[in-house]
Amino acid sequence: MSSHKLCMIPGPIEFHEDVLQAMATPGTSHVGPTFIPVLGESIELLRQILFTSGQPFIIAGSGTLGWDMTACNLIEAGEDVLVCNSGYFGDRFGECLETYGAKATHLRVPIGESPDLAAVSAALKTKKFKAITITHVDTSTGVLSDIKGIADVVRRESPETLVVVDGVCSVGSEEIRMDAWGIDVVVTASQKALGAPPGLCVMGVSERAIQVFKNRKTPVANYYANWTRWLPIMNAYEARKPSYFATPAVQNIFALHVSLKQIVAQGIEKRFAVHKEASAKAKKFIHDLGLTLVPTSLDHAANGMSAVYYPEGVTATDLLPKLAAHGIVAAGGLHVEIAPKYFRIGHMGISVTEPERGHLDATLNALKASLVECGYKGAL
């Protein structure tokens, strides 16, 4: 364990000891009385965390599977979807939608910018969209989109359009209020600000979207991701009854359950605030080092991560190994157009909610030291 480097990438993150301990739960029946309430309660906790009376899903897989679930259950072939595209994950979500026959119209913004409300409004006037997708935090750019503002625009311009949020890099670190803001779908995964190891696709779906699903005209063209199969299973676990479709990832769900309980116990409002504070601190430190963020304004920069351009003369091959030598794992660039030019650090979960662990300070200090080692003068 002494060789463990801090995992300060924008997911997977560092996990609480109690969460890891739950991962080591011995073999347990997926339909027995030890596990049933754990999944049942996790579903209930997700409702609180997402501020929704809708339907959570917790399925073995990853965030990407949540795109398939959205595309195959809510969109029918030939329907139009407006993709607010603020980076890599918008491109990919669009590809996923098209795989299931949707027609994706991309509303692309320049790298580092966030979707503009007027542009969304204008796009919504061009045709009838079954859904709009928004990457809440595009992990490739660190851009935060204004999902509340966009949902408002949709309600005004095209109230029947389903509002779908890719919250893989935002649920648990950014404010989301599904019902109050009129958000129909939140796609996320366990490994980022929900604070549990990767392996779970996690979703919240509004009652309205569940009705749209139930009123489909064509069959769902997927087996594993089909809500027809999963809805009764989620309902059964919540009713504390055994049921089976496909074996849940029992240990991962034990772990998620521990993390969700911690999140609710600490208070979700406080969690938003703490992530904001930590992010402000990180971004000030980065600014004071003379570095530039990928997001063009702090107003639309994510609170759970920072995407930062290398200063002149420093490259990924220089900086990332030096950070690692200081015990910090950071991530390289992901957005294809600028990948070699920037790096990313995550500041989510226990690394910021429990500052006494010193993760963020260690990361920022290592960043400074590594830049100095790279010969960067601005850091002095």
CA 268, 270, 276, 279 torsion-angle sign:
negative
If binding is defined by CB under 6 A, does position 56 make contact with ligand PLP?
Answer: no
Stretch that binds ligand PLP, among 57-65, 101-109, 174-182, 348-356 (CB under 6 A): 57-65
Chain centre to alpha carbon of residue 217: 30
Structure-block tokens of residue 118 = 């007027």
- Does the annotation list 344 as a binding residue? yes
Q: Among a copy of itself, ligand PLP, none, what binds residue 139 when CB lies within 5 to 8 Å by partner kind?
A: ligand PLP
If binding is defined by CB under 8 A, does position 164 make contact with a copy of itself?
Answer: no
Question: Which H or E run includes 306?
Answer: strand 305-309
Nearest to 16 by CA among 348, 269, 368: 348
Nearest to 8 by CA among 291, 263, 330: 330
Q: How many chain residues touch ligand PLP (CB under 6 A)?
A: 14
Nearest distance from residue 245's CB to ligand PLP, in Å? 8
User: What SS3 class is residue 268?
Assistant: helix
Binding mask 86-105 for a copy of itself (x = CB under 8 A): ---------xx--xx-----
If binding is defined by CB under 8 A, does position 64 make contact with a copy of itself?
Answer: yes
If binding is defined by CB under 8 A, does position 65 make contact with a copy of itself?
Answer: yes
Structure-block tokens of residue 43 = 């579903």
If binding is defined by CB under 8 A, does position 307 make contact with a copy of itself?
Answer: no
Pairing state of beta strands 6-7 and 328-329? parallel
If binding is defined by CB under 8 A, does position 126 make contact with a copy of itself?
Answer: no
If binding is defined by CB under 6 A, does position 169 make contact with ligand PLP?
Answer: yes
Nearest to 305 by CA among 251, 370, 373, 351: 351
Q: Among ligand PLP, a copy of itself, none, what binds residue 250 when CB lies within 5 to 8 Å by partner kind?
A: a copy of itself
If binding is defined by CB under 6 A, does position 91 make contact with ligand PLP?
Answer: no
**For residues 100 and 208, what is the distance between their CA atoms, to the nearest angstrom?**
21
If binding is defined by CB under 6 A, does position 89 make contact with ligand PLP?
Answer: yes
Nearest to 212 by CA among 55, 365, 98: 55
Binding mask 218-247 for ligand PLP (x = CB under 6 A): ----------------------------xx
**For residues 123 and 129, what is the distance between their CA atoms, to the nearest angstrom?**
9
Q: Kindly list the residues in this chain that would bind ligand PLP in the complex (CB under 6 A).
A: 11, 62-64, 89, 135, 138-139, 166, 168-169, 189, 246-247
